[in-house]
Chains A and B, each alone.
Chain A
Amino acid sequence: QSVLTQPPSASGTPGQRVTISCSGSSSNIGSNTVNWYQQLPGTAPKLLIYSNNQRPSGVPDRFSGSKSGTSASLAISGLQSEDEADYYCAAWDDSLNGDNYVFGTGTKVTVL
């Protein structure tokens, strides 16, 4: 099961700001960078944020990431209908059993 905890759902009206949290531990978020993925319905995930707060080319600056301690957040400002998707945080986990790339539980964002 996922070791990174996210709220199951989040919602907002067009133009609003929505924030998604991702809670981990010292072995993952606390010691490694966080990535965020967006998964539109019926499609493959897409990298949205890497290294905590970096946007790949082509990702709108409405999306921003941050990290503090063992938690991270993704913010979507100026929410748009096309932002309706599932969002996953991820990070490497330096467990005793070896490196493990762990994903969050996922958050479904609904645009009201």
Chain B
Amino acid sequence: QITLKESGPTLVKPTQTLTLTCTFSGFSLSTSGVGVGWIRQPPGKALEWLALIYWDDDKRYSPSLKSRLTITKDTSKNQVVLTMTNMDPVDTATYYCAHTGIAAAGGAFDIWGQGTMVTVSS
């Protein structure tokens, strides 16, 4: 059974750097075809994809946020970390991590974490 859980601060100040951790179980990020992505959702708004890291350390970023994002993995700890610099109140959102697998669901995000709400305010 695959599970993912996001963790990190619930409140950050403007201009600070946000660091979120996705801790997962039920799969290995060293298995070919597997990846973990981050998606966010501002209150009452649509989903927005942020970043994705694959088993081979291939990394993809949202073009509009690429300059602010860094995604890394720690295979031994079953964790994926996302950092976002220069936080702004418009970055207030629920942040989700999700599993993807080319073999499992054609590369879609098939299993999601419960999400963690991050508020940006001074």
**Which residues of chain A have a CB within 8 Å of any CB of chain B?**
2, 33, 35, 37, 39, 44-47, 50-51, 54, 56, 88, 90, 92, 95, 97-106
Contacts and interface: CB of A to CB of B under 8 A. Distances in A.
Given A54-B106, A95-B63, A98-B63, A44 B49 contact: no
A97 B64 CA distance: 9
Given A44-B115, A56-B110, A50 B105 contact: yes
Contacts of A44: 96, 112-115
B113 A101 contact: no
- Identify which of A50, A51, A88 gathers the most chain B CB atoms within 10 Å of its CB: A50
A100 B105 contact: no
5 contacts: A33-B107, A39-B47, A56-B105, A88-B46, A97-B63
Give the contact-size bracket for chain B: 20 to 34
A51 B106 contact: yes
Interface string B77-90: 00000000000000
Given A47-B109, A100-B63, 13 more contacts: A45-B47, A47-B108, A47-B110, A50-B108, A51-B108, A56-B105, A88-B47, A90-B49, A92-B107, A98-B60, A98-B66, A101-B60, A103-B46
Contacts of A100: 49, 62-63
B52 interface: yes
Nearest to A2: B46
Contacts of B66: 98
Contacts of B74: none
A20 to B, nearest CB: 14
